[in-house]
Amino acid sequence: MGERKLLRTTIYRHVKNYYSNVYCGRLSPSVEITSGISLARTLGYASDFLEQLNLYNFPFEKIYPCGSVVDYIDVCTPMRILNLGSGVGLDGLYVLHKAGKRRSSVEVVNLDVVYSILKKGRQWSNNFLTLNFSKLKWVCGNGYMLPFVDNSFKYVLINGSFNLFENKELLLREVRRVMLRGGFVLIADILANESVPIYIRHNLDAWVWNMAGALSFEKIKEVCCKVGFGMVSLLDAQEIINSLFYRAILRIGF
Ligand SMILES: C[S@@+](CC[C@H](N)C(=O)[O-])C[C@H]1O[C@@H](n2cnc3c(N)ncnc32)[C@H](O)[C@@H]1O
């Protein structure tokens, strides 16, 4: 196996095992991070949506989003949306909430590499059939090899998951393959002002918590261009974390 492939596999396995353990409570995050409903509030998720989920005991302790990407979707026509690295599926529910009466024409596929978190999200939504979550699908899979035919989705959401991929080019090629022309990828993640120092990139846990895999906006544009995404915009540059990192939301299209 080539060195680059070995690194990619090592990071992939570590991230997968780490989230499996975090989601089932065997492990606590190794860095101090805000989570839960207060994180969702800070990131700008609509309060009526959060209150509704709270009323039904949604497992907010299992969410790790980086931004409120759904706010940038125009939910007006029949469409399929892929929520890549969905975790428990908060954004899928948010799409259906935004779609309101039109929710029957929207299908959201939640895809994650950790089976147990998909099961948890599915069980939760099945308990509330009255809320009509039949348009949510749950798929266990790897973002590097999406189990979908070409041209399947109008939007691909990658919320807090983009930086966990060591090979962004491979990921984005795969995302482009399953996307419809005219569609968009919405990414919320941490961006770096400059190259991330090698001691951070060599720390496997820093891959889990989105720092080691952070790229600059310019670098992301370069990778996008390489895979044929001509349009890359920085929709929101939010909270500055420190002199190296900031949270951002990007829209990518072709
Ligand atoms: C920071 S969490 C974000 C989860 C979710 N988007 C949210 O807002 O709660 C990152 C997620 O990406 C998933 N993930 C990591 N590597 C993946 C891969 N190769 N393919 C699919 N999902 C992956 C993890 O299991 C985890 O659920």
For residue range 174-204, what is the model confidence (pLDDT) as tens digits? 999 999 999 999 999 999 999 999 999 999 9
Residue 69 identity: V
What does the block give as tokens for 193?
A: 């002002």
User: What is residue 130's predicted lDDT score, i.e. its pLDDT?
Assistant: 58
Q: Which atom of ligand 1 is nearest to the CA of 158?
A: 6
The residue ranking higher by pLDDT, 31 or 157, is 157
Q: Which atom of ligand 1 is nearest to the CA of 209?
A: 1
To the nearest 10°, report the CA torsion of 28, 31, 32, 37: -60
DSSP-derived pairing of the beta strands 245-253 and 153-159? unpaired
CA 242 to CA 101: how far, in whole Å? 42
Backbone angles phi, psi at 165, to 5 degrees: -95, 125
From 34, 111, 164, 190, mutation site for ligand 1 pocket: most ligand atoms within 8 A of C-beta: 164
Residues with beta carbon inside 6 Å of ligand 1? 12, 15, 19, 63-65, 85-87, 90, 112-114, 117, 142-144, 159-161, 164
CA 172 to CA 224: how far, in whole Å? 7
User: What is residue 205's predicted lDDT score, i.e. its pLDDT?
Assistant: 94
Q: Is the pLDDT of residue 75 over 70?
A: yes
Tell me the pLDDT tens digit for each residue of 125-178: 987 655 666 689 999 999 999 999 999 999 999 999 999 999 999 999 999 999
Question: How many other β-carbons are positioned within 10 Å of the β-carbon of residue 180?
Answer: 14
Four-way CATH pick for 3-253: 3.50.50.60, 3.40.50.150, 3.40.190.10, 3.40.630.30:
3.40.50.150
What are the sequence ranges of the domains in the chain?
Answer: 3-253
**How distant, in Å, are the alpha carbons of 40, 55, 122, 177, 234 from that of 50?**
8, 9, 18, 33, 26
**72 contacts 186 by C-beta, under 8 angstroms:** yes
